[in-house]
Amino acid sequence: MRSVLHFFLFTFQYFVFFYFIFVNSFYTLSLLMSFRFLFIRSRSIVDEEYEVMLQSEMYRPISIIVPCYNEEKVIVSNLKSLLTLHYPEFEIIVVNDGSTDNTMQVLIDNFSLRKVSRPYQEFIHTKNVKGVYISLDYPDLVVVDKENGGRFDAVNAGINISKYPIFCSIDSDSLLEEKSLLRISEVFLEDKEVVAAGGIVRVLNGCKVREGRVIEVHAPTKAVEVFQTIEYTRAFLMGRTTLGNLKALLLISGAFGIFRKDLAIKINGYRKTVGEDMDFTVRLHRYCIENKIPFKIIFIPDPVCWTQVPDSWRSLIRQRDRWRRGLIDVLLYNFRMSFNPRYKTAGMIGFPYFILIEFLGPIIEFIGYVLIPVLWIFGLLNTQFAIIFFFVAILWGIFITIGSILMDNLLFIRYESLKDVFKLILFAFFEFVFYKELLAFVAFFATFRFRARKWGHIPRKKMEKTV
Label residue 168 by pLDDT band (50, 70, 90).
very high
Pairwise CA distance, residues 151 & 196, whole Å: 19
Pairwise CA distance, residues 410 & 430, whole Å: 23
Per-residue pLDDT at 188 exceeds 70: yes
Question: 218: which residues sit within 8 A by CB, 6+ positions away?
Answer: 206, 207, 208, 415, 417, 420, 467
124, 269 contact by CB (below 8 A) = yes
pLDDT mean over 148-170? 94
Per-residue pLDDT at 47 exceeds 70: no
Question: 97: which residues sit within 8 A by CB, 6+ positions away?
Answer: 67, 68, 69, 146, 148, 149, 150, 151, 153, 154
Helix-helix angle 223-234:396-411, to 10 degrees: 80
Pairwise CA distance, residues 383 & 395, whole Å: 17
Question: 212: which residues sit within 8 A by CB, 6+ positions away?
Answer: 77, 78, 79, 80, 81, 82, 84, 175, 463
Pairwise CA distance, residues 388 & 292, whole Å: 48
200, 408 contact by CB (below 8 A) = no
Question: 1: which residues sit within 8 A by CB, 6+ positions away?
Answer: none
Label residue 51 by pLDDT band (50, 70, 90).
low
Per-residue pLDDT at 463 exceeds 60: no
Quote the DSSP letter at residue 465: G
For residue 51, what are the CA distances in angstroms to 88, 274, 287? 11, 39, 36
Nearest to 403 by CA among 29, 108, 41, 55: 29
Single-letter code of the amino acid located at 13 = Q
Strands 62-68 and 90-97: parallel
Least confident of 82-86, 384-388, 431-435: 384-388
Quote the DSSP letter at residue 459: P
Confidence (pLDDT) at 25 = 92
Confidence (pLDDT) at 417 = 87
What are the residues facing 314 on neighbouring strands? none
31, 400 contact by CB (below 8 A) = yes
Would you tell me how many other CB atoms lie within 10 Å of the CB of residue 296?
16
The pTM for the full model equals 0.90
Find the angle CA(74)-CA(78)-CA(80) to the nearest 5 degrees. Answer: 125
Phi–psi pair at 200, nearest 5 degrees: -85, 140
Label residue 96 by pLDDT band (50, 70, 90).
very high
pLDDT mean over 355-368? 90
Nearest to 237 by CA among 385, 65, 27: 27
Single-letter code of the amino acid located at 341 = P
Per-residue pLDDT at 3 exceeds 60: yes
Q: What does pLDDT average to over the chain?
A: 87
- Residue 295's Cβ-side half-sphere holds a number of Cα atoms within 13 Å equal to 26
Confidence (pLDDT) at 467 = 47
Find the angle CA(61)-CA(253)-CA(53) to the nearest 5 degrees. Answer: 30
- DSSP letters along 73-113, please? TTHHHHHHHHHT-S-SSEEEEEEEES-SSSHHHHHHHHHTE
431, 401 contact by CB (below 8 A) = yes
pLDDT mean over 197-214? 89
Confidence (pLDDT) at 107 = 94
Output 126 or 84, whichever has higher pLDDT.
Answer: 126
Confidence (pLDDT) at 106 = 93
Confidence (pLDDT) at 46 = 58
Least confident of 35-39, 373-377, 406-410: 373-377
For residue 121, what are the CA distances in angstroms to 66, 135, 158, 274? 19, 21, 11, 26
